[in-house]
Structure 1
Amino acid sequence: MSSQDKPLPFVYQFAAGAIAGVSEILVMYPTDVVKTRQQLATESIGMVQTFQNIIRSEGPGRLYRGILAPILMEAPKRATKFAANDSWGKVYRNAFGAQKMTQGLSILTGATAGATEAFVVVPFELVKIRLQDKASGGKYAGPGDALMKIIKNEGPMALYNGLESTLWRHILWNAGYFGCIFQVRQLLPAAESKKSQIGNDIIAGSVGGTVGTIVNTPMDVVKSRIQNSPKVAGVVPKYNWAWPSVFMVLREEGFGALYRGFAPKVLRLGPGGGILLVVYTGVMDWFRQMGVGSK
């Protein structure tokens, strides 16, 4: 029985999501640093060149700069992603009188789960972006120092700078991710063994992660720029609201700028989406084998 057939209580979803999220980020985080650098740049620099520039001028350790914030974020973030998707799925099935999930319901529940997830991740994302940027990263000794300085210099609400763009980013990615997982699972042969289930989940999760990334990258670009713009009293930042920022980047830098950082992002979230689904499903199935959550 797969994890999607027999939901466990929230605490087990939380633990499985946390383990899946931390596993994914430990493997894929350097690509996220490169992605952020490319998104913040106003000129086009290739992924390989960006990797080389960081290692040569700042050292390989810089590729893991700011990782503490996303690691601390992964437990609530991934738990919220999967638990909210399951919970909203029940709500929508009841609302529409559907016995089982459909393609449309999978997209709708994914989008709603993404919106729910966004409220959890914004402060962590903001600290991560500030630490990853070459220009601003040197101002902070680490995540805790960045957090305190942002609150002191910009106010507590600055931690939710970029909430709107983060909402759009997560709505779009989760809708594509969970919608594709549902569709790909329907197209693949039924899993007859644990090995074939893992294979199916790798394919479904990787396709979902890739499609979600294609859909949401423009919003991720402007989110990075919005969150890297410090709040100054009486000054309206250049990048402020999501969709106006998208059109500003399009007008000033061209369509390609909206997909700056796409290569490292899709390299992370394509395979990363497969890692997430495989680990989450595997941990949930392990919980069932251990008999946890059963009365």
Structure 2
Amino acid sequence: MAEQQSPIIINKIVLASLSAMVAETTTFPIDITKTRLQLHTTTATPTSAFQIAGDIVRKQGVTGLYKGLSPAIIRHLFYTPIRTVGYEQLRHVFVPHDHHQSLSLPIKAVIGGVSGVIAQVVASPADLVKVRMQADGRRVSQGLEPRYSGSVDALNKIIKSDGFKGLWRGVFPNIQRAFLVNMGELACYDHAKHFVIHNQIAYDNIYAHTLASMMSGLSATTISCPADVVKTRMMNQVVGVDGKVKYRNSYDCLIKTVRFEGFRALWKGFFPTWARLGPWQFVFWVSYEKFRLIAGLPSF
């Protein structure tokens, strides 16, 4: 039985990786805009997502919108297959494949959260490099020298300055975000798709996948945006010349953000995050479901 399952699992991993690469490349300009917006800490000069995106293109050209794409793709080669395939495997622990729609939403949410945590721990170094390189583009736009010349250089410098464990800087807010995001993404997509099909709103086709992915993106963004803001700021901070950092931990970052910028600052980048997650969810799930169909695998 295990030998029969192995090729199926491998196929799912490959297809999830391929779908994630397509989705990440398509939506990456929105992601870098969201990251720059979250790193914008001043309240005196309000900045919109459109202003930030326009500033990037004006100062760095269109290629500036893809700063950090390579580590982002590398991250998803680990992150997305682990969480999606892991979700399915954990789901089968409770019920057989043909009856997984009988699982309640809270159970699916826990399964999705746990899958996301496992995947994020593995992919955290690539996520750190991605955030650092995206923030580097902001330094260039301000007339400063970039910290890193590329992904490998960023990896080496982080290890040199912070040690090997420095690759997991921000891993705890990362884990918190991953748990929340995958509660929204995986559990909501799974539940919404079967709700749409069961109530004959649409068959198991692109229409059902589109509706489910839209609901998934909205719920994931609402739940995870505060943790995403904290994660981005924690991962981008570096040790100063005095040997200190701005935020001691994720809780300290949360408190200082609310104290100095207001409660609404926790949802900085909400619309670009939603604008990214919506298309990302659509491209990923439609591609993944289609690839599975072509490969002769059952629907997610």
* Coarse TM-score class (shorter-chain normalised): 0.7 to 0.9
Q: Which piece of structure 1 moves more, 165-174 or 278-287?
A: 278-287
> Once the 2 structures are TM-superposed, how far is the Cα of residue 8 of structure 1 from its aligned partner?
6.8
> Once the 2 structures are TM-superposed, how far is the Cα of residue 60 of structure 1 from its aligned partner?
1.4
Task: From 54, 70, 73, give the equivalent of 1:71.
Answer: 73
CA distance in 1, matches of 2:28, 2:226: 20
Asked if the contact 2:84–2:186 (Cα under 8 Å) also holds between the matched residues in 1, the reply is no
Asked if the contact 1:154–1:232 (Cα under 8 Å) also holds between the matched residues in 2, the reply is no
Distance 1:212 1:276, change over 3 A: same
Matches within 5 A, 1:48-127: 48-93=50-95, 100-127=102-129
User: Is 1:12 matched up with 2:11?
Assistant: yes
Structure 2 equivalent of residue 206 of structure 1: 214
TM-score, normalised via structure 2 length: 0.86
Output the amino acid matched with 2:233.
R
CA RMSD of aligned residues (A): 2.7
Asked if the contact 1:36–1:224 (Cα under 8 Å) also holds between the matched residues in 2, the reply is yes
Asked if the contact 2:101–2:191 (Cα under 8 Å) also holds between the matched residues in 1, the reply is no
User: Is 1:245 matched up with 2:249?
Assistant: no
* Percent pairwise identity: 26
Structure 2 equivalent of residue 261 of structure 1: 269
Residues 203-258 of structure 1, C-alpha deviations (whole Å, 9 max, x = no match) = 10121022101110111111111111124698442223223322221111002211
User: Is 1:21 matched up with 2:23?
Assistant: no
User: Is 1:143 matched up with 2:151?
Assistant: yes
Structure 1 equivalent of residue 30 of structure 2: 31
Q: Secondary structure at the match of 2:295?
A: helix
TM-score, normalised via structure 1 length: 0.87
CA distance in 2, matches of 1:80, 1:231: 32
Structure 2 equivalent of residue 3 of structure 1: none
Of structures 1 and 2, the one scoring higher in RCO (CA 8 A, sep 6+) is: 1
Residues 5-32 of structure 1, C-alpha deviations (whole Å, 9 max, x = no match) = x997221111111011001011100001
CA distance in 2, matches of 1:138, 1:191: 53
Which 5+ residue runs of structure 2 have no aligned equivalent?
none
Residues 156-210 of structure 1, C-alpha deviations (whole Å, 9 max, x = no match) = 1111000000000110010011222233224314599x98611111110121022
> Once the 2 structures are TM-superposed, how far is the Cα of residue 123 of structure 1 from its aligned partner?
0.6
Q: How many residues align?
A: 282
Asked if the contact 1:111–1:170 (Cα under 8 Å) also holds between the matched residues in 2, the reply is yes
Output the amino acid matched with 1:122.
S
Asked if the contact 2:31–2:273 (Cα under 8 Å) also holds between the matched residues in 1, the reply is yes
Distance 1:150 1:196, change over 3 A: same
User: Is 1:171 matched up with 2:179?
Assistant: yes
Distance 1:210 1:113, change over 3 A: same
Asked if the contact 1:205–1:277 (Cα under 8 Å) also holds between the matched residues in 2, the reply is yes
Asked if the contact 2:181–2:224 (Cα under 8 Å) also holds between the matched residues in 1, the reply is yes
Q: Which piece of structure 1 moves more, 251-260 or 157-166?
A: 251-260
Residues 33-74 of structure 1, C-alpha deviations (whole Å, 9 max, x = no match) = 101101111133101111111111222111001100011122
> Once the 2 structures are TM-superposed, how far is the Cα of residue 102 of structure 1 from its aligned partner?
2.3
Task: From 220, 232, 238, give the equivalent of 2:228.
Answer: 220
Asked if the contact 2:209–2:286 (Cα under 8 Å) also holds between the matched residues in 1, the reply is yes
Output the amino acid matched with 1:154.
D
Q: Which piece of structure 1 moves more, 233-242 or 119-128?
A: 233-242
Output the amino acid matched with 1:155.
G
Which 5+ residue runs of structure 1 have no aligned equivalent?
1-5
User: Is 1:230 matched up with 2:238?
Assistant: yes
Asked if the contact 2:68–2:133 (Cα under 8 Å) also holds between the matched residues in 1, the reply is yes
Distance 1:233 1:138, change over 3 A: closer
CA distance in 2, matches of 1:56, 1:232: 30
Output the amino acid matched with 1:107.
A
